[in-house]
Amino acid sequence: MSRKIKFVQKNLGIEIECLFYLLLLQKMIRKVQYDYSMLKIRNIVLMGLLMAGANLVYSQNNALKIGLPGPILGDYSLGVEQIIHPGHTMNVNIGYWDSGIGLINIKNLFIEGKHLWLTNEGGGWHASLEQRNYFALQKDNEKQNFYWGPYFRYWQKRMVLNDYIQNEQIPQQQLFDVAATLRGIGVGAQLGYQLRISERFWIDFYFIGMGIERVKLKATYSAVGEDNFDYEFIAGDVRKAFDQQARWIKDNVKLQSGPHSLFIELPVTLPAFRAGINVAIKLD
């Protein structure tokens, strides 16, 4: 029995993008592959931006930042912004994500017994590095300031799903555990806006973040209650699940049958979009 796993090609920002990654995982599991050429490009762009001055820059304070919308999805993140030059800062964020400890549990989006469904959501984490260049649209405006600059990010997530397969070689439905690991690495640029609430507090909106991301899935199908299962029996069903996807997706699917499991590997490159809100607290 073939499975139709649809891709949703979205990729939201780290704090609120977590929902997208799970929705994407619901359709087809993926994991990451490092692309060192991206890192080289990012370093060249970053060096150029650090050397270029911005007009009417605003000297940001060193600050601690807390993600606002993330806890709704079980994503808890902290960030630190450090001045490296008047009007230029470096922003570092790191976070842990498990929707089971959030207000919206992603597990509720899966229907048990229908296609793939989530049985165990493992923890995941993400990190990002941003360089920011501040500027003001109005002279001497210290309450409303814009910024722009490049970013680099990395994330990973582990999950366990279940799937039923039935075909000519398997006359009765067989239950499979699907252990999946996803990892992603991406680079891009973004525009943001800060609104000062008081001398010590302000709100940080980052939006219009765009880039590219290299994502790679590794998943393992294991038959439940069967020690001597022939995984060649399901290789065709798993591959057919990608038949209706774009050619650049299905042509990258790699399957390998072993004595104890069927291994799946799928690397893809996707457009990335990010957005989010932080509360910033002045440190000095």
Q: Mind listing the pLDDT tens digit for each residue in 69-92?
A: 888 888 899 999 999 988 899 999
Determine, yes or no, domain membership for 5.
no
Phi and psi dihedrals of 153, rounded to 5? -145, 160
> Which tens digits make up the pLDDT trace of 187-240?
999 999 988 898 889 899 988 899 999 999 999 999 999 989 999 999 999 998
Determine, yes or no, domain membership for 152.
yes
Determine, yes or no, domain membership for 209.
yes
Which neighbouring-strand residues pair with 157? Answer: 124, 182
Rounded average pLDDT over 96-107: 83
pLDDT value of position 243:
84
The answer on pLDDT for 54 being more than 50 is no
pLDDT tier at 281, thresholds 50, 70, 90: very high
The answer on pLDDT for 93 being more than 60 is yes
pLDDT tier at 52, thresholds 50, 70, 90: very low
Two tokens, residue 14: 């780290």
Instruction: Provide the number of structural domains found in the chain.
Output: 1
pLDDT tier at 42, thresholds 50, 70, 90: very low
**43 contact partners, CB below 8 Å, separation of at least 6:** none
Nearest to 17 by CA among 243, 233, 226, 277: 277
The answer on pLDDT for 3 being more than 70 is no
Determine, yes or no, domain membership for 266.
yes
Q: Which of 12-16, 47-51, 82-86 has the highest mean pLDDT?
A: 82-86
> Which tens digits make up the pLDDT trace of 161-178?
999 999 999 999 999 999
**H or E element: which one contains 130?**
strand 117-135
Q: Whole-angstrom Cα distance, residue 239 to residue 237?
A: 5
The answer on pLDDT for 268 being more than 50 is yes
Full domain range(s) for residue 268: 14-282
pLDDT value of position 4:
33
Nearest to 162 by CA among 145, 144, 150, 178: 178
Two tokens, residue 246: 């774009």
pLDDT value of position 282:
87
Determine, yes or no, domain membership for 177.
yes
Q: Whole-angstrom Cα distance, residue 62 to residue 41?
A: 27
pTM for this one? 0.72
Phi and psi dihedrals of 23, rounded to 5? -60, -40
Assign 248 to helix, strand or coil: helix
pLDDT value of position 145:
85
> Which tens digits make up the pLDDT trace of 117-157?
888 888 899 999 999 999 887 766 666 689 999 999 999 99
Q: What percent of the chain is modeled with pLDDT above 70?
A: 76
**280 contact partners, CB below 8 Å, separation of at least 6:** 63, 64, 65, 81, 194, 201, 202, 203, 204
* % helix, strand, coil for the chain, step of 5: 20, 50, 30
Determine, yes or no, domain membership for 6.
no
Phi and psi dihedrals of 186, rounded to 5? -150, 160
pLDDT tier at 266, thresholds 50, 70, 90: very high
Strand locations in 136-261, DSSP E?
A: 144-165, 174-196, 201-223, 254-257
The answer on pLDDT for 24 being more than 50 is no
The answer on pLDDT for 245 being more than 60 is yes
Check: CB of residue 157 under 8 Å from CB of residue 32. Answer: no
pLDDT value of position 60:
52
pLDDT value of position 51:
37
Nearest to 10 by CA among 18, 76, 247: 18
CA 116 to centroid of chain Cα atoms: 20
Q: Whole-angstrom Cα distance, residue 130 to residue 135?
A: 16
Q: Whole-angstrom Cα distance, residue 101 to residue 110?
A: 17
Determine, yes or no, domain membership for 3.
no
Higher pLDDT, 50 or 124: 124
pLDDT value of position 144:
64
